[in-house]
């Protein structure tokens, strides 16, 4: 009896293709859910107890420039005004030169003394505040002439 040649059967890739077709979109969907924070990733442990104190020892104050003057938010425990947040009115009829930049620097100096690790600040403005006033606010909040107050300033 002569030897028979082994019969080669074609490779069945259909089950592997079906599995890849299902697993790839599911994996992409899970990564997007983690990115959107619908699924929480494992929390990162704090290396030391001091790290929690360092996070708590920072604040990002907000200076709102209005037609009437300045309003400060974000450091209410340091600054006290009539309603818990200080308002700095203009020195006269509000214009480019009548905003009280010195008082703003003084109040931000108190915030910096209470939170020395903070270096960021947010400036908000009303629509009718001029560009020159905004530039003066930026230069006023970054330094007080002796030391840096809040060198990282953002505009909202």
To the question of pTM greater than 0.85 for the whole model, the response is no
**Integer Cα distance of 30 and 129 in angstroms:** 45
Look up residue 144 and give its two tokens: 């007080």
Indicate whether 123 pLDDT > 90: yes
Q: What is the pLDDT of residues 22-42, one digit of tens each?
A: 999 998 888 887 777 665 556
Give the per-residue pLDDT at 32.
Answer: 82
* 3 state SS of 95: coil
**pLDDT tens across 45-97, in order?**
655 555 555 555 678 889 999 988 898 888 776 776 555 557 888 888 877 78
């Amino acid at each position: 009896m002569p030897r028979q040649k082994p019969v080669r059967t074609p490779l069945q890739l259909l089950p592997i293709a079906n599995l890849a077709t299902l697993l790839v979109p599911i994996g992409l969907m899970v990564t997007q859910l983690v990115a959107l924070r619908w699924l929480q990733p494992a929390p990162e442990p704090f290396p030391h107890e001091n790290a929690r104190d360092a996070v708590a020892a920072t604040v990002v104050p907000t200076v709102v420039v209005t037609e009437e003057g300045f309003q400060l938010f974000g450091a209410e425990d340091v600054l006290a005004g009539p309603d818990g947040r200080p308002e700095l009115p203009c020195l006269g009829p509000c214009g480019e030169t009548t905003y009280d930049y010195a008082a703003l620097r003084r109040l931000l100096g108190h915030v910096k003394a209470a939170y020395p690790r903070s270096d960021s600040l947010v400036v908000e403005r009303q629509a009718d505040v001029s560009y020159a006033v905004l530039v003066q606010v930026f230069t006023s909040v970054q330094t007080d002439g002796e030391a840096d107050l809040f060198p990282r300033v953002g505009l909202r």
